[in-house]
Amino acid sequence: MLLKSVSIIVGLLFITPIAHAEDGKFVYNKICYYCHDDGLVGSPMIGDTAEWAKRRQKGIDLLYLNTFVGTGHMMERQARQGFTDIDIKNAVDYLIEQGK
């Protein structure tokens, strides 16, 4: 009986939704790839080291901010498909990491 209760409690722990951040690559492949894979509408292409070296000089905080508010033809927050700020930040980190 005790064992059964314990396993129910453990089971509940696992199905309780825990706020967790999505992996940057996952988010990239859901949203960002659409433009950044091919340099669509003038976006800096993923893996373009020269381009991303220039972008990094702006400082990471400005890159996060521009991704949140949208810059050039990049869409702003509402196009995020439910991803949080942290998820989007992870995607920025992933994109930048590929351009190093």
CB of 86 to ligand HEC, least distance (A): 12
Closest CB to ligand HEC among residues 6, 79: 79
Residue 12 in tokens: 């509940």
**Residues in 58-87 that interact with ligand HEC by CB under 6 A:** 58, 62-63, 66-67, 71-75
CB of 9 to ligand HEC, least distance (A): 38
Q: What is the residue-wise DSSP string for 21-72?
A: PPPHHHHIIIIIHHHHTTTGGGPPPTT-HHHHHHHHTT-HHHHHHHHHH--T
Question: Is residue 95 within 8 Å of 32, Cβ to Cβ?
Answer: yes
**Angle between helix 49-56 and 60-69 (nearest 10):** 100
CB of 5 to ligand HEC, least distance (A): 44
34 near ligand HEC (CB under 6 A):
yes
Footprint of ligand HEC on this chain (CB under 6 A)? 27, 31-32, 34-36, 40-44, 55, 58, 62-63, 66-67, 71-75, 88, 91-92, 95
